Chains A and B, each alone.
Chain A
């Protein structure tokens, strides 16, 4: 009989232990139905519990296998012990090759990123953030991750979402918005600047004309003129970047434009740069301003040349391409469709990502001070955007750079070039109605035209101009009007006056224009336009040309 002695208790314990062992053996064979509950209540039915476990296991397995996001089980040392199909796809490895690898093998250190620490992770139980990995094929992927510590003893669950494409699209969009904002700012500055330049250049020119030969001030004024013209050049480029300059688009063959420039480009390049040109015979046509396209090619070629101080190869290539919906999705602002591509490739020094991100910004330059204005590529960008095209850059350090310009294809036939004739004389005696809201600009314009013998009627807004038209007893030959004016635009004014004064010619002047005579900065055919800043010579030529054309037709 077992009593209360130590020996007795030992016997009881030994028996309990034996029984527990037996229970475990039976349990491992699946021969156990229920287990005594701790508190001595109703035992716990194993089958029901097992069924629940199996069901939730099945559900979890379905979630794990079917999830679009990558899921990994990671042990304390960071080794992968389980991975779902999405994870295998993300890492570019079959499951058996992914398991056993360490998370650290794939992670790419990023500047400024905070290294997650195991200790803080296990303390917090949770961690989330961003990281970049290298896939098995070497391509980087940007991920959002979220990790939960100890989902199973010593195992941590890591959820990864590939956001590479989204990041790229966001980056493109951010870039596009930034360019848009800078463009608007640049155009605004250029507009005001143009009026000031009109005054400076015009008065300087008038004073120059009045100087007696040999006057000591002559050379100084020439310098003022030269500086003024350089400033005008800069504002023109700013407007181009801001997509606010006037374009006169024609149907063009980009290949022909490039071929036509070949000799000039060769002069631009040193002998150690080998230029090659590839154009397709079946190249589609584009609708663009030929002088602007030339400007694009020039700027890109000059940049390519400067990227190859020790010589290299420069190729210009044109081709038909189709940008599909998938491409458009990842490139902000791209409308899917047929495009003509102009690619300019150099074997120069290339650019790093930081430079690449900023090259289209105005005044951003990598050239030495005084060597570049930082407007070359921003001009290209502006022209391309205003022509509904796109420009992308691909660059690798020490390998080279390719700029690809895409312009939308058009089905129209190539326009024949219209010859413009140079007027023989700049003088005249016709009556010109001058409408300009900026008083100084109006005064100088008036002075220029008066000097050439014209009869000038001044109005500082559309309403005044309209009154003059009603009351002036003689013929008015030309309406010379600013485009952007408060209350009534130049276009609206012309539309109201023309019925009263049939045969009246209209010449629009503007630094840029928002609407009025143009649609997105593109001139309607047959509209005469003079770009600010006004210079006496440019103004008189245009006026004469227009008045003479009227008499011919």
Chain B
């Protein structure tokens, strides 16, 4: 029997026995189980009230012509919102494309930077480790909105520190032909990624804790065998921390699909420059809350949910090829 079949059989057996146990509980056991249910009930109630019910309601809304400011006049329109979203509204696909393009640029840069900085902070040769760890984590504690506003001025084309610094180095960065980070379509994603890097302290921390969990004996053996630093990184470090990398990947991907705050604060959702920052969630928000098309907004939200599920499923399917769990038997 191969591994998956064995796994499915065990799981099925375990589920059956769990149900059987529930019905065959003795009085004392039932009392104990009841307390367990009581303790998790706040979460269950919260999930039902604030997630499941709104989700079902939003699925219903997606079949309505529902204007936010006049909810009494909502009218059932069947799949008209879905048809408009999928076949008639070019902005749906443009905003989805913008989101994926940004994710393709920002995700690898963010993940590699967080990992490499964690490796650096874990290095035996680094002096003042605690100081650097604090410094790299510190920006995470700055409220996001404040950080975005600070960055908007740091990257100001005429008076920002970055462009002034580049000017001081002899690079033409200010003026009409200068570097206009937020106004040039070819630079705006770099600027946004830069702002994103400011808050990778959490990812660094998670990577760092994973790196510290790798047994040093593995490195010592590899060193004895003459493995270089790069070889040790590739053959030991990466496989050993791959579950954490996978975890960061899922969180980052979901975060990027929901990318909203940075473009909203910087552009108030106007999509500038030239529509390059009309991310999917910005478009969704504008349709639902600014233009008051709640029915159409609900359809857009469901499309993003489906896209998120598909991507997550795809990532989990690939995980078996590159994520290594040390306790796993194959």
Do A and B make up one complex? no
Binding site for B on A (CB under 8 A): none
